[in-house]
Amino acid sequence: MKSISFFIVDDEQTVCSISSYIARTPGFSLSGSSRSFNQELSEFLHSCSSGGGVLLLNADSCPEEVAGLEDLCNKFNVMLIETSDTTEGAYRAYEKGVFDYFVKPVSYSRFLKAVTRITSFVMDKRQGVKEGGSFYIQCETKGKFIKIFYDEIKYIEANQNYINIYLENESHISYQTMREVEGSLPSDLFIRVHKSFILNEKKIYAVNNDYVVLKDNTIIKIGSNYRENLLSHLLPNLIKSKRASGKHQTVLPKVLPINQGFDISSVDTSSSAINKCI
């Protein structure tokens, strides 16, 4: 795959750290960096019109310029990642519909999560998502293996030294850890939202500040350490109105905030999932 280029508009410390991360990561390169918008950035945007690229932008230091940059990134096929010193900045990025966000200081492991998603996103656009993926688990009967299709998984729950895999019409127990199963699942389809839960993104009906509601009304609590990871998966699916008027309306096909009409009381709160994770 053709190398994916980064351009960084941020402070010197962030430019230095992200540049070193890019140098250590195969398939990515640094096109340039600056402290503000300039001619070099303009040339970068135009150069990405055919192959894509990533703009990493400090939203805290240049809020006025950020306002129109999303449209420019869409026009020139550039993925926009915002950086912020605070969590509040991350939520503003979510509202704007950017591809991803970093809360500074940015670790290399956090950077790798982003580039993994970038690679999957670019590959999906160029080749299309491959459906029908599957894996095998060994069940309690010796010598018996069961084939599990990705599309049939609703969620996976930790159960001491085992995991419970919940499908549309049945469930299975497998002797492995959450870390092991998480590492074997495609990161563009499955999201870790709690220390005890991994969700199939396709099964999500709605998300509010504290819970994920699945299509079958199962409620899963969002762990505080996993909220950022969840939002980073949702950003590429955020559809935002591009109308020029001040009355912008954000359309969320998979994310329906509770304060915009979703009545959590209408959901079956007897689900075992919510009782186990609260």
Domains and CATH numbers, the chain: 4-127 (3.40.50.2300), 134-277 (2.40.50.1020)
> Pick from 189, 236, 231, 238: which is nearest to 208 by CA?
231
Q: Which residues, in sequence order, are bridge partners of residue 84?
A: 103
Check whether 53 has a pLDDT greater than 90.
no
Residues 6+ apart with CB under 8 A from 117: 100, 187, 188, 232, 233, 236
Query: Which is higher by pLDDT, 29 or 74?
Result: 29
pLDDT one-digit tens code per residue, 97-145: 678 889 899 999 999 999 988 887 777 665 544 556 788 887 766 667 8
Please report the pLDDT score of residue 240 as a whole number: 65
pLDDT of the residue at 110: 93
* pLDDT at residue 275, rounded to an integer: 43
Residue 195: pLDDT band (50, 70, 90) is: very high
Cβ contact 187:120 at 8 Å: yes
Give the pLDDT band of residue 262 (cuts 50, 70, 90): very low
Return the ∠ at Cα 129 (arms to 204 and 25), rounded to 5°.
100
Give dist(CA 180, CA 163) in Å, integer: 10
Q: Say whether pTM exceeds 0.75.
A: no
Which comes out higher in pLDDT, residue 135 or 32?
A: 32
Q: What is the largest CA-CA distance in the chain?
A: 66
**What pLDDT, on the 0 to 100 scale, is given for residue 41?**
84
**Residue 227 scores a pLDDT above 50:** yes
- The least confident of 145-149, 150-154, 247-251 is 247-251
Higher-confidence position of 46 and 79: 79
Nearest to 170 by CA among 148, 137, 141, 190: 148
pLDDT above 90 coverage of the chain, percent: 31
Higher pLDDT residue, 168 or 126? 168
Q: Is the confidence at residue 271, as pLDDT, over 70?
A: no
Mean residue pLDDT of the chain comes to 78
Average pLDDT of span 162-170: 92
Mean pLDDT, residues 191-198 taken together:
94
Alpha-carbon distance of 162 to 158, in angstroms, equals 6
- Please tell me which residue, 273 or 217, carries the higher pLDDT value: 217
Q: Is the pLDDT of residue 19 over 90?
A: yes
pLDDT value of position 114: 92
pLDDT at 37: 73
